[in-house]
Amino acid sequence: MNDNTKKTITSRRSFMKGTALAVPAFMIVPRHVLGRGYTPPSDKLNLAAIGSGGKGWSDINNAFNEGKENVVALCDIDTKSAERATKKWDKAKFYKDFRVMFEKMGKQIDAVTISTPDHVHAIAAMAAMQEGIHVYVQKPLTHNIREARMLTEAARKYKVVTQMGNQGASNPGQVQMQEWYNKGLIGNVHTVYTWTNRPVWPQGIPVPTDKTARPDHISESDWDLYIGPAEMVDFHPLYHLFKWRGWWNFGTGALGDMGCHIIDPPFRVLGLGYPTEVECSVGQIFTQDWTPSYIPEGCPPSSQVQIKFPASAKNKSEVTMIWSDGGIRPFHPSLIPAEEPLSGTGSDNGVIMMGEKGIMTCGVYGLEPIVYLNSGEKITMPKDYATDNPNEKLPEYGHQVSWTQACKAGFGSKEHQRLTSSFDYSGPLTETVLMGNLAIRSYQTSSRKDDRGRLEFDGRKKLLWDGKTMRITNYENANEFVGRKYRKGWDLV
Ligand SMILES: NC(=O)c1ccc[n+]([C@@H]2O[C@H](COP(=O)([O-])OP(=O)(O)OC[C@H]3O[C@@H](n4cnc5c(N)ncnc54)[C@H](O)[C@@H]3O)[C@@H](O)[C@H]2O)c1
C-alpha cells in the first residue's frame, strides 16, 4: 500500500477500527429508542466476499448476521455458483476479479470473507490486508507453508483483524477440553491420534485427459481468474467446483480439508509449536496389475503421517501425532470400552490424546469431548456447559460474528485477542497441517529410474524440519514443497 492510499483509507474505516465503541457526535437518537437489536448504519461494517458460492455463501451470510452488517460487494468467477448470494444482496456490487474489486472499492470495504479454493486464499488475503481490510479466510489458511508464514506476518504488519474458518475453534467442546487438560486430568500427553474419512471426492485418480467444454456461463477470462496463481490447465469438472480438493495445483487433499478442524484441538490444548520431524506412508493406485500408477499431480487416495513435536510450555512431554485419512482409523485404546465409539457419533473423524493419567477424545470440531481416566472413570461434558463466548448459540458457534465484532473493536482490542483462530494461532496450525502434505509430496516425487526401469523414490524418508527457517534439513529436494511456483503475474509479495 503506498502512502497516499494509506492516508485516504481513513474516515469511516478509522471509525470502525480505532474508535468504534465511541458514540459518534452526529448520532442524536439514543440507540435504545430505535429498538432492541437495531444497529445504526454507521455502526455496521461494510463486508465483501471473495468466493460467494459453496462455503462462501454461509461465511458471508453468517458474518452479515441477519442485517447487523452491510454486504457491499461480492466476488466470484462463477455467476451461477454465486447466485444465492447475488440474489440475497442484490444491491451489492458484483466482481469476478478481486483485484478489480479492491481497486474500485478498497476504501469502502472494511472486512472480507475469503472462501475460494485453497490456491487463491493467500493471494486474495494479502491483497486485502495490504488495503488495510480485515480478513476471514477459510481453512486451510493457505496452500503451502511459506504462504501461511507470510500471512501471519502480514496480519501484524498491516494491523488487521484476522480469523481462519476452522469454526470448531469456537466450539465450547474445545474450552471444556482445555479446562480438563489444565486441571491435569490426563497428565502430560505423549501420543495423539487424528483421523478423517476424507477424501469424499474423487482422489488418487489419473489426471483427466478428456476435453470437457467450459459451461457457457464461464468465459475464458473467468477460467483464467479461477486458475489465478496456479499452473494453467484446461477447464474440467474435476477442477471446479468442490473436486479441486484432490489436485495439488488447487487443493490440499484430505489433510488440507480436515486437518485444521481435527488437529486444532490437540494443537491448542497442548500448546504445540513448530514440529521437528515428519514422515508419511501413502496409499498406492493401480490401474493395471502389479504396476503402480505414478500420479504426482494428484493427492493420494489415503495417507498416514507421523509428526513429532517437542515438549511445550503446557505439555512437558514430546508428542508423536499420527494422522490417518481415507477412512483408516486408529485402533481402540484399551481405556475405551469395546462397545463405545472411538470419538463419539459416527467416529468418521476424531482425536485421541493419550496422556500419563488417562486419555481425552473428541469428534470433529471438538464435538463430544470425553475423558477416560486410568482409574476407569469416564467424564463427559455437562449438557449445560457454558463458556464466555457470547456468540456461542449463533451458526458455527458465532465464529464469523466474533470476527466482525473484533473488526469493529479494532486491532489489539479485547475482542480481537479473544478470537479463537486469528492468524497468530491459525498460521502455525496451518503450517503444521501442511507439513504433512510436504511429506506426502516428497514421498510421491520420483526423478529417476533404477536399472530395471522402476521408479526410485528418494523422498520416502523421515524428514527433519527447522521451523524457524522453514527448511527440511536432511533432504534438499523436499524444500520445493515449502512454497510453490506462481503463474506469471500472480506472485505473492
Ligand atoms: N470450514 C468449513 O467447514 C468448510 C466447509 C467447506 C469448505 N471449506 C473451505 O472453503 C473453501 C471453498 O470450498 P468450497 O467447498 O465452498 O468450494 P467450491 O468449489 O464449492 O466453491 C468455491 C467458490 O469460490 C469461487 N471461486 C473460485 N475461484 C475464485 C476466484 N479466483 N475468485 C472468486 N471466486 C472464486 C467458485 O466459483 C465457488 O463459488 C475451501 O478453502 C474449503 O476448504 C470450509
Indicate if ligand 1 lies below 6 Å from the C-beta of 406: no
Q: Closest Cα to residue 48, out of 110, 118, 2?
A: 110
The set of cell numbers assigned to 223 is 477460467
**Alpha helices, DSSP H only, in 349-412?**
399-409
Q: Report yes or no on 127 lying in a domain.
A: yes
| C-alpha of residue 307 to centroid of ligand 1, in Å | 28
Whether omega before 229 lies within 30 degrees of 0, making that bond cis, reads no
For residue 319, pLDDT beyond 70: yes
Arithmetic mean of pLDDT, 53-72 = 98
For residue 247, pLDDT beyond 70: yes
Tally of domains in the chain: 1
For 55, phi then psi, to 5°, come to -65, -25
pLDDT top residue among 246 and 38: 246
Q: Report yes or no on 53 lying in a domain.
A: yes
pLDDT top residue among 330 and 14: 330
Indicate if ligand 1 lies below 6 Å from the C-beta of 246: no
Q: Report yes or no on 40 lying in a domain.
A: yes
The set of cell numbers assigned to 59 is 461465511
Arithmetic mean of pLDDT, 291-306 = 97
| C-alpha of residue 112 to centroid of ligand 1, in Å | 14
Residues 189-240: pLDDT tens digits?
999 999 999 999 999 999 999 999 999 999 999 999 999 999 999 999 999 9
CATH classification of the domain holding 74: 3.40.50.720
For residue 27, pLDDT beyond 90: no
pLDDT level of residue 85 (50, 70, 90 thresholds) = very high
The set of cell numbers assigned to 326 is 481415507
For residue 21, pLDDT beyond 80: no
Q: Report yes or no on 300 lying in a domain.
A: no
Q: Report yes or no on 240 lying in a domain.
A: no
Q: Closest Cα to residue 405, out of 415, 414, 397?
A: 415
* Neighbour-count burial for 19-43, b at 16+ CB within 10 Å, e otherwise: ebeeeeeeeeeeeeeeeeeeeeeeb
| Residue having the nearest C-alpha atom to atom 39 of ligand 1 | 53
pLDDT top residue among 25 and 458: 458
| C-alpha of residue 83 to centroid of ligand 1, in Å | 14
Q: Report yes or no on 115 lying in a domain.
A: yes
Residues 359-413: pLDDT tens digits?
999 999 999 999 999 999 999 999 999 999 999 999 999 999 999 999 999 999 9
Q: Which helix (H) or strand (E) holds 177?
A: helix 172-182
Residues 437-481: pLDDT tens digits?
999 999 999 989 999 999 999 999 999 999 999 999 999 999 999
CA distances in angstroms from 57 to 65, 82, 179, 182, 335, listed in the order given: 12, 8, 34, 37, 42
pLDDT in the model for residue 29: 42
How many DSSP H helices and E strands does the chain contain?
14, 20
pLDDT in the model for residue 39: 72
Q: What is the dihedral of CA 106, 112, 114, 119, to 10 degrees?
A: 30
Q: Report yes or no on 467 lying in a domain.
A: no
Indicate if ligand 1 lies below 6 Å from the C-beta of 264: no
Work out the number of other CB atoms within 10 angstroms of the CB of residue 469.
8
**Residue 161, domain extent:** 3-167+393-421
pLDDT in the model for residue 468: 97
pLDDT in the model for residue 133: 98
pTM confidence score: 0.94
Q: Report yes or no on 341 lying in a domain.
A: no
Indicate the SS3 state at residue 112: strand
Indicate if ligand 1 lies below 6 Å from the C-beta of 229: no
